[in-house]
Amino acid sequence: MSQNSKISIHELTKVFYKKQNSVTALENITIDIEEGEFVCLVGPSGCGKTTLLRILAGLENQSSGNFKIERSNEDRPNQSMVFQERGILPWLTVEENVAFGLKMRHLPKWHVKERTNYFLNKVGLAKFAKMYPKELSGGMKQRVSIARAFANDPEILLMDEPFGALDEQNRYILQEELLSIWSETKKTVLFITHSIDEALYLSDRVLLMSAQPGKIIDEVKIDLPRPRKLEDMRSNQEMASKFLDIWRHLQVEVQGSRL
């Protein structure tokens, strides 16, 4: 494990066991992520990437191995997760959803109010503060989810395919917004996606996973300067070749898991 890493995952393995039938979802995953790094984890569906995230999020236990999230401040929560769609509570208003983490930590009211308003403005939902999620579009719901995670000010952010259910145009817009909020806070992010484009656009480093058992098979550094524009990425020759590289790698895996 390197000295200055924010997240260090060491030989993590997860096995699902059911009636003499065991499936190895993750095998010897070792990852080090630096402070302030944006890392995307790309792999075919069912490769165990969500399981890895759930273990880091404390929603599931690993079978063996360990991980560590370096703490900088005792008052900060370890991690906050941005869930896939349906991750916001339907019985709370937009505002209450964004404030959820802060309220669970029993922070003073003025502080909750201030942070909530700040991030509501950031994601452009201030006007919708008193509405219930049923009145929001899919993109707006995910904005709430992102605002909630950032407002909670955790050590690291975990994102589980947050834009997976959105249409293409909305996805581009939200990716751009995410990068703009992220660039202010410089949080360490572990982001899961099955979209290679998304991974190239967002991250500093892309980790490729294989399916069943889920292993890290390769990593690709993305050194495109920030702030990034979608257009830059599209027109960059190097990015195009990286896309193909990753695609060739994953193609084998996707076809392998289909057989």
Partner 1 sequence: MKDIKNPIETEKQEWRKQQIKQRLKTWLTIFSPICLLLIWQFLSQSGLIDARFFPPPTAIISTFIELLTSGELFHHINISLFRIFTGFLLGVIPGVILGLCMGLYAPIRHFISPIIMALMPIPTLALLPIILIIFGIGEVSKVVTIAGSVFFPVVINTIAGVISIDSIYLDVAKNYGASRKDFFLKIALPGSLPFMMEGIQMGQAIALLTIVAAEMMGARSGIGYLIWTSYSAFLLKEMFVGLILISFFGYIFSLILRGLQRKLIPWR
Check if the beta carbon of residue 167 is closer than 8 Å to that of residue 181.
Answer: no
Cβ neighbors of 252 (< 8 A, separation 6 or more) are none
Contact between 179 and partner 1 (CB under 8 A)?
Answer: no
Does residue number 94 form part of the binding site for partner 1 (CB under 8 A)? no
- Site mask for partner 1 (CB under 8 A), range 132-171, x = bound: xxx-------------x---x-------------------
Binder to partner 1 among 13, 34, 76, 89 (CB under 8 A)? 89
Rounded to whole angstroms, the Cα distance separating 118 from 147 reads 9
DSSP secondary structure letters along 162-230 = TTTTS-HHHHHHHHHHHHHHHHHH--EEEEEES-HHHHHHH-SEEEEE-SSSB-EEEEEE----SS--H
Q: Locate the DSSP E strands across the chain.
A: 5-18, 21-34, 38-42, 64-69, 79-82, 156-160, 188-193, 205-209, 216-221
Give the contact letters, 47-76, x = binds to partner 1 (CB under 8 A), - = no: -------x--xxx-----------------
Name the β-bridge partners of 34. Answer: 5
Number of residues forming the site for partner 1 (CB under 8 A) = 26
Closest to partner 1 by CB, 89 or 239: 89
Q: Does 104 bind partner 1 (CB under 8 A)?
A: yes
Provide the token pair at 231. 């257009």
Judged by beta carbon, residue 101 or residue 213, the one nearer partner 1 is 101
User: What is the DSSP code (8-state) at residue 43?
Assistant: -
Q: How far is CA 205 from CA 131, 136, 243, in A?
A: 37, 33, 13
Of these, 76, 105, 113, 194, which contacts partner 1 (CB under 8 A)? 105
| Closest distance to partner 1 from the beta carbon of 201 (Å) | 26
Query: Does the footprint of partner 1 cover residue 201 (CB under 8 A)?
Result: no
Q: Does 83 bind partner 1 (CB under 8 A)?
A: yes
Task: Give residues 116-135 in contact with partner 1 (rule: CB under 8 A).
Answer: 132-134
Q: Quick one: 53 exposed, middle or buried, by C-beta within 10 A (0-12, 13-18, 19+)? A: buried
Task: CB nearer to partner 1: give 54 or 243.
Answer: 54
Q: How far is the CB of 236 from partner 1 (least distance, A)?
A: 36
Query: Which positions touch partner 1 (CB under 8 A)?
Result: 54, 57-59, 77, 79-81, 83-84, 86-92, 100-101, 104-105, 132-134, 148, 152
